[in-house]
Structure 1
Amino acid sequence: MHGWYRMIPVFNIGVAGGALCHMVSNPHSVGLVGMSAGCYALMAMNMADLVMNWKQNRWRYPKLAVLILLLVFDITIAQVSTGDHATGHSAHFGGYVAGLLMGVALVRNLKVERWERVLQVVALCTGLFLIIFCLAWNSRWAPRSVWDSTPWCYSRQVYNFSLFGNKKWNCVRCADAECMDKFNSMNSAMTPVAKVGINVCEHTLGWAYTR
């Protein structure tokens, strides 16, 4: 109905939107691979089609029910799969939001009304604001996610009884060279310092030291 010349931009903008959302919500995680955010953008494009062509869509209620069911299913999977830290749920969310905003602006509008023109302008302005926000947020150093109040660029596990008062591995993170040098210099057989995946610290052990 909308043609490849509308679907391709929405798909690609969805991929970019997913990457931007991943950057601001998971800047310390593993790299992002794939274009699944574009698939979510196309799903959101169908929702945008309902918004812009509600009265003209003959099967609007069944279509809306299917789209809501898909969203509920995906959100449920994301909440249940608490141990799955490899799936880029934030990228999927970003792709969906980007697809919804650009879908409102680009889908074929069968009957143009004034409020729809206003909605298109709002969607474009919102999309532009989100792009600027994500780029500005990610340009700062040290990196920090929108969920974390502390910026950091270095993470290690340290075994040091005199520093932490316990005989176990403790997670530390740093945002400056002085802090990094402190832990790198104490690495020895008695006080080992080891690299660690951040998921272990964020989801299992917690951070014992932050600077």
Structure 2
Amino acid sequence: MDRSSLLQLIQEQLDPENTGFIGVETFASLVHSHELPLDPAKLDMLVALAQGNDEGQVCYQELVDLISSKRSSSFKRAIANGQRALPRDVLLDETGLGFYKRFVRYVAYEILPCEMDRRWYFYQHRTCPPPVFMAAVTLTQIIVFLCYGARLNKWVLQTYHPEYMKSPLVYHPGHRARAWRFLTYMFMHVGLEQLGFNALLQLMIGVPLEMVHGILRISFLYLAGVLAGSLTVSITDMRAPLVGGSGGVYALCSAHLANVVMNWAGMRCPYKLLRMVLALVCMSSEVGRAVWLRFSPPLPASGPQPSFMAHLAGAIVGISMGLTILRSYEESLQDQCGWWVLLLSYGTFLLFAVFWNIFAYDLLGAQIPPPP
């Protein structure tokens, strides 16, 4: 019997009066009598749902969500209320797991603060689709860096080469009309140290986040940080060009760190305090390096060096929009009022930035460097 037939049978036999509630014991007997295979983890959650109800019943819609592997906000609240009925053991006690399942368990404890969420993710995780977005972005950045390194014969501080800024990928204030540059600058980097820092964080933090929250949410968050970074530079540092994927990287990192801080007691990742300190030190050092290169370049340069404001803009996007995304694991963002407020705020910023780039440079008489 398929899933739709099972749901129809449940509604006909267990809820003939269409009350919207089903007794869990009756449902369990139906499953066994028809020899219907059901994931043991889902049966545990079903018991938890029943324990969350005073009469030992389960809402029909919550049962549909459970069998269909979907979780609404009401479903998550019901699970939380009945969580005491779940088995006491945790995922760390699972034995006999293969290498990949151990990695999935590691990701669950690295990203999710709630044991119920971790169990749900562990049992529902599928290898398809794989986390291809962050891997593809990182690989593209490495290939672009190698191509320009070989072409310019320069691997450190590539931006000091006179031909570097002629790339069609770099954001330059003199080429604001070429709108693609507000995104494609993320594939270019100042030098080997910036590329290494961004690639490491994208793989260590971005890939696990994408595995848990999916390609759509993480790619949206990353690209929102990248776009906010370039538009912020065009407003606050009008003479500076921009390279590097730091806006997207800082959006991911700040969202993850903020999620860890706000759910500190529930996080079970090892050495979380030490790792938090190291992450903050590394991120602060990267910002400091960018500020130093912007205002006190170690070598003579033909024009202003890339701005550091993209780092700060990405962090703001991560703490606001990103934190909302990470706290809504397997829940619909469209049903949350806060999400629409953040989306409206971000859209307002984009609209303001577009008009700024069209009119403000001429009105303010900004002395921008000539485009290469």
Question: Please, which of 236, 239, 260 is the counterpart of residue 50 of structure 1?
Answer: 260
Evaluate the alpha carbon distance shift between residue 72 and residue 154 of structure 1 in structure 2; reply closer, same or farther with a 3 A threshold: closer
Evaluate the alpha carbon distance shift between residue 34 and residue 64 of structure 1 in structure 2; reply closer, same or farther with a 3 A threshold: closer
Distance 2:305 2:367 in 1: 20
- Aligned residue type for 1:91: A
Distance 1:61 1:88 in 2: 31
Aligned position for 2:273: 61
Query: Are positions 1:74 and 2:286 aligned together?
Result: yes
Aligned position for 1:207: none
Query: Are positions 1:20 and 2:231 aligned together?
Result: yes
Query: Are positions 1:7 and 2:218 aligned together?
Result: yes
Distance 2:292 2:237 in 1: 19
Evaluate the alpha carbon distance shift between residue 125 and residue 48 of structure 1 in structure 2; reply closer, same or farther with a 3 A threshold: farther
Distance 1:52 1:121 in 2: 21
1:1-211 alignment, distance < 5 Å: 1-30=212-241, 32-59=242-269, 60-81=272-293, 82-84=295-297, 85-109=304-328, 123-143=342-362, 151-153=364-366, 197=369
Aligned residues: 146
How much does 1:50 deviate?
Answer: 1.9
Q: Relative contact order: is structure 1 or structure 2 higher (C-alpha 8 Å, sep ≥ 6)? A: 1
How much does 1:48 deviate?
Answer: 3.4
CA contact (8 A) 2:240 2:306 kept: no
Distance 2:236 2:260 in 1: 29
Query: Given the two structures, how large is their TM-score scaled by the length of structure 1?
Result: 0.54
> Which of the pair is proportionally richer in strand?
1
CA contact (8 A) 2:255 2:326 kept: yes
Aligned position for 2:23: none
| 1:14-47 CA distance string (max 9 Å, x none) | 11111111110223334x3443322222222212
Give the 3-state SS of the residue equivalent to 1:103 in structure 2. Answer: helix
- Aligned residue type for 1:71: M
> Which of the pair is proportionally richer in helix?
2
Identical residues among aligned pairs (%): 23
RMSD: 3.3
- In the alignment, structure 2 segments of 5+ residues that lack a partner are 1-211, 298-303
- Aligned residue type for 1:152: G
- In the alignment, structure 1 segments of 5+ residues that lack a partner are 145-150, 156-196, 199-211
Instruction: Return the index of the structure with the highest Cα Rg.
Output: 2
Evaluate the alpha carbon distance shift between residue 79 and residue 37 of structure 1 in structure 2; reply closer, same or farther with a 3 A threshold: closer
CA contact (8 A) 2:229 2:314 kept: yes
